Amino acid sequence: MDKRLFKWLIWILILAISLLAVGLFSLCIGSSGIPFKRIVSVIFEGKGSAEYSILFDIRLPRIILGFAIGGALSLAGVILQGMFRNPLVEPYTLGISGGAALGVCLNIIFRLHQTFGIFTLPLFGFLGASLVILLVYSLSIKGGILKIQGLLLTGVMISFISSSLIMLIMAVSRVEDLHGIVFWIMGSLEEPNWFLIKLVVLVSIVGLIISYVFCLDLNAFSLGEEEALHLGINIERTKRLLFILASLLTGCSVSVAGIIGFVGLVVPHFLRMFVGGDHRILLISSFLSGAGFLIFCDTLARTIISPMELPVGVITGILGGSLFVYALSRKQVLIGEK
């Protein structure tokens, strides 16, 4: 077996086992601790007990949603960083999260979720994200060419505009609406609707599969667009498809769980230090690591000041920022040693 392929398989195995361990840890830990041995007994006992309800109606949905959203955001981060050849680009840079947040805020202040049902919150979030995607795309494409720098600058400006509009809404909204807006903006995996959970899982896994169609194209993009063109890649079509894929992954995640920062920025950046920049291993390893990272952060968010719960975006921001600073300092040390 090829030495590089063997190394990649070892990394995938390590990350998959780590993800499973974090998932089991999250299933056991909470305000009502349930040992792993007891979990097996609860499964065989079936429905009816309080422990069964805690495990399979409260904790398991959050773990599955954390797997899907953490994986999707990390995957979107890898794709966008590969497209822009910029490790500081993340899924929220293009204003997609701002559009989703603005849609949800409008839903909350007009009380549409009370009139038509709670499912309208993710629906409005996805509609807001979709509108921003269309706006950024239409403003950045000139003569059939998608301008990468224009795409980035337009996305950043729309993100600022969306943030300003959200602050305006918060300034004039009722106190009871303000709490819902703030908590949603900070992100939460508390989603009991199994249809939405299954939908996000499907989108994230399909996104991972589709991303592998472009893994060699992303490797070529790291050399620059001219080099990629000389290698026979249709760069304009590839850029459009990658932008749409990353945007859908981000929009779907944000519309269901709110704005969970740093996952799409830190995880791909950190993984490059260990597995390298080849997207054939970086895509799957970032997906698994992002899933495990978000599940772990959500476990901390719901247990660190139990019985109160913190927004998971607060934990990802603290841990993610710390990891990012460590990764940067580590790189500087390695450069100094060379």
Q: Which residues contact 11 (CB under 8 A, 6 or more apart)?
A: 274, 275, 281, 285
pLDDT digits (tens, 9 = 90+) for 86-128: 888 888 888 888 888 888 888 888 888 778 877 788 888 889 8
Would you state the structure tokens that stand for residue 110, as one six-digit string? 């007009």
Residue 146 dihedral angles phi and psi, to the nearest 5°: -85, 110
Q: What CA–CA distance (Å, rounded) separates 30 from 9?
A: 33
The reported pLDDT for the residue numbered 337 is 44
Q: What CA–CA distance (Å, rounded) separates 282 from 275?
A: 7
**For residue 141, what are the β-bridge partners?**
146
pLDDT digits (tens, 9 = 90+) for 51-92: 888 888 888 999 999 999 999 999 999 999 998 888 888 888
pLDDT digits (tens, 9 = 90+) for 199-235: 899 999 999 999 999 999 999 988 888 888 888 888 8
Angle at 119 between CA 118 and CA 122, to 5 degrees: 110
pLDDT digits (tens, 9 = 90+) for 16-25: 999 999 999 9
pLDDT digits (tens, 9 = 90+) for 256-281: 888 888 898 889 988 888 898 899 99
Task: Please tell me which of 30-34, 37-41, 179-183, 246-250 the model is most confident about, judged by mean pLDDT.
Answer: 246-250
The reported pLDDT for the residue numbered 332 is 54
Q: What percent of the chain has pLDDT over 70?
A: 96
240, 260, 241: which is closest to 97 by C-alpha?
260
The reported pLDDT for the residue numbered 310 is 85
63, 92, 98, 95: which is closest to 76 by C-alpha?
92
Amino acid symbol at 76: A
Residues belonging to the chain: 338
Amino acid symbol at 265: L
Confidence of residue 1 (pLDDT cuts 50, 70, 90): low
The reported pLDDT for the residue numbered 214 is 93
Dmax (CA) for the chain in angstroms is 64
Q: Which residues contact 311 (CB under 8 A, 6 or more apart)?
A: 183, 186, 187, 188, 258, 301
**The residue to which tokens 């920022």 are assigned:** 321
pLDDT digits (tens, 9 = 90+) for 161-209: 988 998 898 888 887 788 778 877 888 888 778 888 998 999 999 999 9
Amino acid symbol at 232: G
The reported pLDDT for the residue numbered 90 is 85
On the question of pLDDT at 137 being above 70, the answer is yes
Would you state the structure tokens that stand for residue 260, as one six-digit string? 């969970």
On the question of pLDDT at 142 being above 50, the answer is yes
The reported pLDDT for the residue numbered 9 is 94
CATH dotted code for 3-337: 1.10.3470.10
Q: How many CB atoms lie within 10 A of CB 144?
A: 8
Crossing angle of the two packed helices 194-211 and 279-303, in degrees rounded to 10: 160
Crossing angle of the two packed helices 96-109 and 148-172, in degrees rounded to 10: 20
Domain boundaries, the chain: 3-337
Q: What CA–CA distance (Å, rounded) separates 172 from 131?
A: 24
Helices (H), the chain: 3-28, 36-45, 50-53, 60-84, 96-109, 112-116, 120-140, 148-172, 175-186, 194-211, 215-221, 225-230, 235-257, 263-275, 279-303, 312-337
